[in-house]
Amino acid sequence: MVYFIADTHFSEQNIMRYENRPFKDIEEMDKELVSRWNSIVNKDDHVYVLGDFGADGQEIFILNQLNGRKFLVKGNHDVKPNQYYRDSGFEEVYDNPIIIKNFWILSHEPLYVNKNMPYANLFGHVHNSPIIKTYSEQHYCVSVERINYTPISFDDIIVAVQSKMEEN
């Protein structure tokens, strides 16, 4: 299986306040994020983290607790060199958006796509901002606040996007 998640911000104190996360402290947040991740992701599953994995290097201690083969599309808070993240347990690290399955653009920040383009965009960065919808015909936000702090499967994303296309 393939899963997506963004904006975990492991071990980052400020995110609790900025996004009104429902945890009493960062220890509870980190523990719950790890538990939810591991409740659905198996050892051989692929997980694309679409940016902002954690803060200040403290999050790396959590990386090895997480199931799956992990890939990072760097976000604005992922400031260490790519090799640091690889050495810590990510199989690959990307500075720029990537395309998978010839259609899905994976990025941290939302990208402009329209009906005349042969792409859809999976992204994070916007957390729970009401300005951006969770999904449409050509995009899907995987910020943790929108996906119950749990990685979401590629299959579930495809079903949601296809159902939106059928509505229009």
pLDDT, tens digit, 9 for 90 and up, residues 56-103: 677 778 999 999 999 999 999 999 999 999 999 999 999 999 999 999
Dist. CA 97–CA 78, nearest whole Å: 14
Distances (CA, A) of 74 to 6, 69, 152: 10, 16, 18
pTM over 0.85: yes
Specify the DSSP class assigned to residue 134. Answer: S
- The beta-strand segments (E) located in the chain are 2-5, 46-49, 69-73, 92-94, 98-100, 104-106, 120-123, 139-141, 152-153
pLDDT for 168 equals 61
pLDDT beneath 50: ranges in the chain: none
What mean pLDDT is reported for the chain? 93
